[in-house]
Structure 1
Amino acid sequence: MTHIPVSVIVAAGGTPDDFHACLQSLRSTLGLRDEVVCVLPPGRPELHAELRGEAWLKVIEPTAGSGVADRWAAGLDATRHPIVVLIDGDVIVSAHWLDPVLEPFHDPSVVATGPSCQHTYGPQQAHLPDHAMTSAAAFKTYARQWRQDHRGEFSDVDRLGPVCVAIRRDALAIAGGPTADLPWDGLAAQGRITVAHAALVAHVASPSCGLRADFLDPPDAPLLSASLIVKDEADVLGRSLDALRDLVDEIVVYDTGSTDDTVAVARAHGARVIEGFWNEHFGDARNRSLEHCRGRWALWIDADEIFAGDPRVVRASIAASDARAFFATIDNQEGHEGGAGASTIYYPRLFRRAPVRLYGRLHEQVVDRITGQAMIGPQLPELVIDHTGYTSLRRTVKGKTERNLRLAILAAEDVSGITAVGNLARAQIGSGHLEEAIETSRRGLTQAKENSHQVLFLKILADAYLALNRLAEANETIEELRRVASTAFTVDEHEVKLRFAEGDYERALEIVARLPESGMNDLLYGVGRGRFAGLHIDALSRLDRHQEAAVQLRTSLREGRVPVPVSRMAQVLGAADGSLAEVAELLPREGLRGLLFGIAEAPPEAADELLEALWRRYPGEPTVLTVAARVGRLVPLIRAMEWSARLRQHGFAERCTLLALSEDSRRTPRERTLAAAIALEMFHDEAALPLLGEALSAVPDEQSAPVLEEMRILAPRVSDSIELADA
């Protein structure tokens, strides 16, 4: 061997046969000056037996109870070369694997390198076909071809997995020494981390893998922790935490740099708050939150999500289960004014905490912290989460679309692969970069080997073409999707939008009618008639079937869904001799939150009409007042005065609509003047004084007399004061 000399530290593990195969494959790949230390875990005498007669390596047995990090440290103490290779004991290496792994170290800026590896967490992950692992000879043949196909390929990444890596000894020391997951942030701060794609190793990943020793639950661990990462979520966080009270034993909130009252709200609701940082990486932030959790199980939930299931059933299910994860039902409110229906996805949000990591800068995945394999398990019907983060108001407030695009671009730079391409395409279409989404999806289709990846890119393509009104291309893409999809409604959900865009409303209604009440498409997203309730209503209206459209809208409202924008509801109900007031009566209380998101985006007149109806049904409701405070500055003066009185009566004086109107540059100087005068007259609010002065100075001379005349009627004492001052 011609590579630079290295110290190889093997953490013994796996079955005796796996460990024996590891040593046999490793020995033939070493150079004359390489040194090997094998560190035995406590309580595994059968592994010690495999080392008899192996004079080419040194055996170390740390004290009982030592973890993986301690075993790495013991190996480091017993070796001397500047480059150390840390390798798990159930890894099979291929011929000449060390040469490409060590090649990057000729560049002093490189601090760590890893081979392509089956069953590892992180960007080293390689997926080997079944036939490559039928025998040692089959793996050897496959690895030889792999080496030829990937010769000279290296990628810079932000981290590696724990299974097989080479690291500069001094950089590891500066980073704080070995840890169970290895200190990748500290290493990345010192230099480059790379993957040597031509080197291939296979990780058997048996249940007795030596790397799992550190990731066991302590005997006194509570049952369930809730884990959140937050930033500037004070407006929604309290409701989310309240909903968790009967479900979890502890709530851990990891704050990534809030500038509002988020931290205070979290503490007031009983959460343990970790004031952390944000490094443009969702997976990292979620892992930092999980590190502070103590539960045997963890629930990942966000501040704009509400647990809506049965806490007793969920707790009983996980207490009695040997599953590793459970899928939650996540109901997403979507679209403009909260009125584009809803979608449902199924995702493993509840999982055993110790063996899990979240992987990915964006659209993070729940994976095994050693093998990188996705955590799967049964669906738990009682685990239901309502999510409002996809409404356009929430997206705008949080800047989600552009943030997601930025993170997707960074993720594609972190690691190559089809997942990064898919996340980039999703972020591009979500942020309205449609042409870029088409280009990325076309590129993804050329790389996609799995059916699910083909489906993903074709669905993104279909939506992009529909958004651009390129209907012929959308039709071609949908037909291509039909050939690869395994369920009809994976295709139907796009075809219904195509037929509507073409003006074939009858055909669109036929497709909606054949959709299931609820089902799951090829990508594990919920598909059902309810998601297309808004399109159903619009199609009926376009066919002048106004009574049917109103019936469909009323049915959706009774079911707690808000399928169309508030302004559209006014049109549909008005065409059927109804009114917006019906909405307040029909919608159950659990649907109120979604409706209020929609009202905040509606035209002021419609918003005010519906808020008034809601106020009559729910007098004193704080959430209604909160939205009214936003809308009130835009309504006629007399209505702003009424909402101001209600807000002040219920303790929201700081949100006074009159004061808000008086400082709103979109309103005329006359309106601003009268609003400030009324606030001063009716409520003796001195905060109105400077606003009144500013507004008065902006009133044109020719309008001064009429404005003062109105003020004498609406705010006589304030008017008298102004006239006395002028005198």
Structure 2
Amino acid sequence: MTHIPVSVIVAAGGTPDDFHACLQSLRPTLGVRDEVVCVLPPDRPDLRAELRGETWLRVLEPAAGSGVAERWTAGVDATRHPVVVLVDGDVILSAHWLDPVLEPFHDPAVVATGPSCQHTFGPQQVQLPDEAMTSPAAFKTHARQWRQEHRDEFTDVDRLGPVCVAIRRDALAIAGGPTTDLPWDALAAQGRITIAHAALVAHVASPACGLRTDLADAPDAPLLSASLIVKDEADVLGPSLDAIRDLVDEIVVYDTGSTDDTVAIARAHGARVVEGFWNDHFGDARNRSLEHCRGRWVLWIDADEVFTGDRRTVREAVERADGRAFLALIENREGHEGGGGSSAIYYPRLFRRAQARLYGRLHEQVLDRITGQGFMGPHLPELVLDHSGYTRLRRVVKSKTERNLRLAQLAVDDVNGMTAVGNLARSQISSGHVEEAIATSRRGLAEAKERSHRVLFLKILADAYLALGRIPEAAGVIEDLRAIATNPATVGEHEVKLRFVEGDYERALEIIDELPESGVNDLLYGVGRDRFAGLRIDALSRLDRHTEAAFHLRETLRKGQVPVPVARMAQILGAAGGSLAEVAELLPRSGVRGLLFGIAEAPPEAADELLEALWRRYPGEPTVLTVAARVGRLVPLIRAMEWSARLRQHGFPERCTLLALSGDARRTPRERTLAAAIALEMFHDEAALPLLGEALAAVPDEQSAPVLEEMRILAPRVSDSIELADA
């Protein structure tokens, strides 16, 4: 195939051997009218030496201090063809790679194309087998087969990586010219961006790569920034910001369109707020937040997460660090009613800002901003984040289930990667589309080549079959998982659930005891006996071992964990001669937040009993009042009166439980009428007047007299006013 003439701009980089291999692989792929400019980085005489005698290209040496953007610009300015190809100088290019990369430019709507690339940020990235990377010759052999398998395959994407791309010169000019990461948003606004899958490039990822010279910190940069993206997080943002105020040097909050008090709360807590936008892409939003961070290191934290570790130890570890990331322990509260279990995952939430960016529409990952390789690092035990976002109440409040399912499907459409497919399957389970999750996981399992991806899909399948009660199929998947897992705990955590669903509670308890006290599974999720505290307690209770069940429940509460729902706690403690009031005494203050998130989902009587106990222990606590305001409309009238008085006394008249009850269609006309009358009688709140009128109108004629009689007792002045008006 004869391709259109192009201008190739090589950013020299890597080791001399890498650079030499790049030039040797590039030259045979050029057409007779192509031009090549090689832009040298400052202070690299070793690379200059590799260019002696290479008369087929021109050499540019920008001024010292020039960054990648300036070197790309110098190359573009020194060339003339309508399409420019930007190439990192430490890649190996396969034979005929330019032909498929340039083919899409026959369509004037295409503004940029890139090849498949080993080690690049973005959707171009592909994984190649180790044997293909042993030598340039091995790579070229693999590339020939790759080209045949992917001939005529093109995919539209919203961006490409920085390693190897072809761009229309005029579109790049309209976009403002080259930048370090290239202006993909501005290019995408002008036309299509595609991947030519048949073209293959291998990035040797040299530490001296020319594209890394811009990844240094500013000399006056602060140590640590916190980065958050938020939308309508007024109910949780304050405690999150309070917890990190003394840990970080600055807090950057990127708001994606809040309609509540989120922005005001962030500013009141000293955050620098960027009022941005939302494009259905978590990775993009986080990167926009990172652009406003100045710290050498960044802590990525969510509004529904609270830092519970040791501030001084974390800062000291960052100041001494030679690496580029630390793993945080993220404690996920799950289930419902503030309980129902928890999970944990170790994840790189603390990382060097200049070297990283976030990738992925959903469940985004921290990647090297050039090579696209995942960030890893040592676990920092003092870096712990308490995450409440996966409690059922938070999912409902934030509509997370539906949103995540939609974003997961979009992510699969963006790029057909195994991680994206896995995220889709998990989102399908959590949204109740379990059969679809099974089909997605089976598809992923058939296509997965890496062991970690096979482990992921088997684990999802096991959970899906257990959710449907399909025990034989779940058991078969668990055996498949046993054959490839390297950590027994990876299998053990599913066996516990299997035995519990089967009703073999004794065996479930035995397997829990066989698990390590703490550790991680094959996917870096936390596993250990504590993770199954709820199942242990539930199993003991179902075996009528009530004293043991209550003992373990009390011990778990003392650790600040809420392992089972509120209603279940009431049953377990009651069977052992206790009561829910114990929970307020046993649970340390650090655990109250997690309990309150789900209390509103408990049966009203149990929720009210526990809130009363919490109020006695923490009188005046605003978070208790906030939850009580939700519960108060559902409790008996006398209790609604008490919570209403407390809310008004502490400055929350707008959350009055009597007013909420009187406007709640689930309550009887009698209850609504009396609630509005009492609010008017006791608090002279005129907001009760229209509610009283509506409720009275709904009272059946045969109940009017008894309701008025009750009103004479509970709200005599209001009753007199009504009788005078009727007279």
Same fold (TM over 0.5): yes
- How many angstroms does 1:581 deviate by? 1.1
Number of residue pairs aligned between Structure 1 and Structure 2 = 727
- Post-superposition Cα deviations, 1:274-311, rounded to whole Å, max 9, x if no partner, equal 00000000100000000000000000000000001111
The within-5 A match list for 1:441-456 is 441-456=441-456
Confirm or deny that 1:268 pairs with 2:268.
yes
Contact 1:156 1:415 in 2 (8 A): no
The within-5 A match list for 1:181-580 is 181-580=181-580
Confirm or deny that 1:715 pairs with 2:719.
no
Write the letter of the residue equivalent to 1:162: P
For 1:132, the equivalent position in structure 2 comes to 132
Contact 2:493 2:527 in 1 (8 A): yes
Question: 1-side partners of 2:23 and 2:487: how far apart?
Answer: 47
- How many angstroms does 1:127 deviate by? 2.0
- What is the DSSP-based 3-state SS (H/G/I as helix, E as strand, rest coil) of the residue aligned with 2:152? coil
- What is the DSSP-based 3-state SS (H/G/I as helix, E as strand, rest coil) of the residue aligned with 2:685? coil
Question: 1-side partners of 2:27 and 2:578: how far apart?
Answer: 82
Question: 1-side partners of 2:24 and 2:537: how far apart?
Answer: 68
For 1:148, the equivalent position in structure 2 comes to 148
Question: 2-side partners of 1:579 and 1:420: how far apart?
Answer: 46
Contact 2:341 2:534 in 1 (8 A): yes
- Post-superposition Cα deviations, 1:498-535, rounded to whole Å, max 9, x if no partner, equal 11111111111111121222111111001112221221
Write the letter of the residue equivalent to 2:537: I
- What is the DSSP-based 3-state SS (H/G/I as helix, E as strand, rest coil) of the residue aligned with 1:380? strand
Confirm or deny that 1:701 pairs with 2:704.
no
Question: 2-side partners of 1:397 and 1:503: how far apart?
Answer: 34
The within-5 A match list for 1:82-121 is 82-121=82-121
- How many angstroms does 1:337 deviate by? 1.0
Question: 1-side partners of 2:567 and 2:138: how far apart?
Answer: 65
- Post-superposition Cα deviations, 1:525-562, rounded to whole Å, max 9, x if no partner, equal 01112221221122112211122211121111111111
The within-5 A match list for 1:30-49 is 30-49=30-49
Write the letter of the residue equivalent to 1:179: T
- What is the DSSP-based 3-state SS (H/G/I as helix, E as strand, rest coil) of the residue aligned with 1:336? coil
Write the letter of the residue equivalent to 1:59: V
Contact 1:281 1:362 in 2 (8 A): yes
- How many angstroms does 1:49 deviate by? 2.4
- How many angstroms does 1:47 deviate by? 2.0
- Post-superposition Cα deviations, 1:593-642, rounded to whole Å, max 9, x if no partner, equal 11112211101011111111111111111111111110001101010001
Write the letter of the residue equivalent to 2:274: I
Contact 2:392 2:598 in 1 (8 A): no
- What is the DSSP-based 3-state SS (H/G/I as helix, E as strand, rest coil) of the residue aligned with 2:354? coil
The within-5 A match list for 1:10-89 is 10-89=10-89
Write the letter of the residue equivalent to 1:172: L
- Post-superposition Cα deviations, 1:124-181, rounded to whole Å, max 9, x if no partner, equal 1122233323322222222112212222222222211000001111221222221100
RMSD between aligned alpha carbons? 1.1
- How many angstroms does 1:359 deviate by? 0.7
- What is the DSSP-based 3-state SS (H/G/I as helix, E as strand, rest coil) of the residue aligned with 2:333? strand
- What is the DSSP-based 3-state SS (H/G/I as helix, E as strand, rest coil) of the residue aligned with 1:253? strand
Question: 2-side partners of 1:450 and 1:93: how far apart?
Answer: 25
- How many angstroms does 1:76 deviate by? 1.2
Q: Which runs of 4+ in 1 moved over 3 A?
A: none
Write the letter of the residue equivalent to 2:170: D
Question: 1-side partners of 2:124 and 2:66: how far apart?
Answer: 27
Question: 1-side partners of 2:483 and 2:140: how far apart?
Answer: 37
Question: 1-side partners of 2:369 and 2:267: how far apart?
Answer: 30
Write the letter of the residue equivalent to 2:332: N
The within-5 A match list for 1:559-708 is 559-708=559-708
Pick which of 315-324 and 43-52 moved more.
43-52
* TM-score, normalised via structure 2 length: 0.99
Question: 2-side partners of 1:420 and 1:638: how far apart?
Answer: 52
Write the letter of the residue equivalent to 1:567: A
**Structure 2: stretches of 5+ with no match in the other structure:** none
Write the letter of the residue equivalent to 1:331: E
- What is the DSSP-based 3-state SS (H/G/I as helix, E as strand, rest coil) of the residue aligned with 2:92? strand
- How many angstroms does 1:273 deviate by? 0.2
Pick which of 545-554 and 256-265 moved more.
545-554
- What is the DSSP-based 3-state SS (H/G/I as helix, E as strand, rest coil) of the residue aligned with 2:334? strand
Write the letter of the residue equivalent to 1:339: G
- What is the DSSP-based 3-state SS (H/G/I as helix, E as strand, rest coil) of the residue aligned with 2:187? helix
- Post-superposition Cα deviations, 1:398-435, rounded to whole Å, max 9, x if no partner, equal 11111111111101111112122112112111211111
- Post-superposition Cα deviations, 1:329-365, rounded to whole Å, max 9, x if no partner, equal 1111111112211111100000000010101111111
Write the letter of the residue equivalent to 2:530: G
- Post-superposition Cα deviations, 1:95-149, rounded to whole Å, max 9, x if no partner, equal 1110111111112222111111111111111222333233222222221122122
- What is the DSSP-based 3-state SS (H/G/I as helix, E as strand, rest coil) of the residue aligned with 1:214? coil
Question: 2-side partners of 1:598 and 1:30: how far apart?
Answer: 64
Question: 2-side partners of 1:651 and 1:173: how far apart?
Answer: 58
Question: 1-side partners of 2:486 and 2:601: how far apart?
Answer: 38
- What is the DSSP-based 3-state SS (H/G/I as helix, E as strand, rest coil) of the residue aligned with 1:389? coil
- How many angstroms does 1:62 deviate by? 1.9
Question: 1-side partners of 2:611 and 2:177: how far apart?
Answer: 60
- What is the DSSP-based 3-state SS (H/G/I as helix, E as strand, rest coil) of the residue aligned with 2:126? coil
- Post-superposition Cα deviations, 1:367-394, rounded to whole Å, max 9, x if no partner, equal 1000000111111011111000010000
Contact 1:341 1:530 in 2 (8 A): no
- How many angstroms does 1:476 deviate by? 0.5
For 1:172, the equivalent position in structure 2 comes to 172
Question: 2-side partners of 1:319 and 1:42: how far apart?
Answer: 29
Pick which of 131-140 and 462-471 moved more.
131-140
- What is the DSSP-based 3-state SS (H/G/I as helix, E as strand, rest coil) of the residue aligned with 2:80? coil
- What is the DSSP-based 3-state SS (H/G/I as helix, E as strand, rest coil) of the residue aligned with 2:389? strand
- How many angstroms does 1:576 deviate by? 1.4
Q: Calculate percent identity across the aligned residue pairs.
A: 84
- How many angstroms does 1:52 deviate by? 2.3
- How many angstroms does 1:480 deviate by? 0.8
Write the letter of the residue equivalent to 1:56: W
Question: 1-side partners of 2:568 and 2:417: how far apart?
Answer: 43
- How many angstroms does 1:46 deviate by? 2.5
**Structure 1: stretches of 5+ with no match in the other structure:** none
- How many angstroms does 1:22 deviate by? 1.3
Question: 1-side partners of 2:316 and 2:182: how far apart?
Answer: 35
Confirm or deny that 1:162 pairs with 2:200.
no
Question: 2-side partners of 1:666 and 1:711: how far apart?
Answer: 20
Contact 1:342 1:530 in 2 (8 A): no
- What is the DSSP-based 3-state SS (H/G/I as helix, E as strand, rest coil) of the residue aligned with 1:561? coil
- What is the DSSP-based 3-state SS (H/G/I as helix, E as strand, rest coil) of the residue aligned with 2:309? coil
- How many angstroms does 1:468 deviate by? 0.6
- Post-superposition Cα deviations, 1:435-462, rounded to whole Å, max 9, x if no partner, equal 1110111111111121111110000000
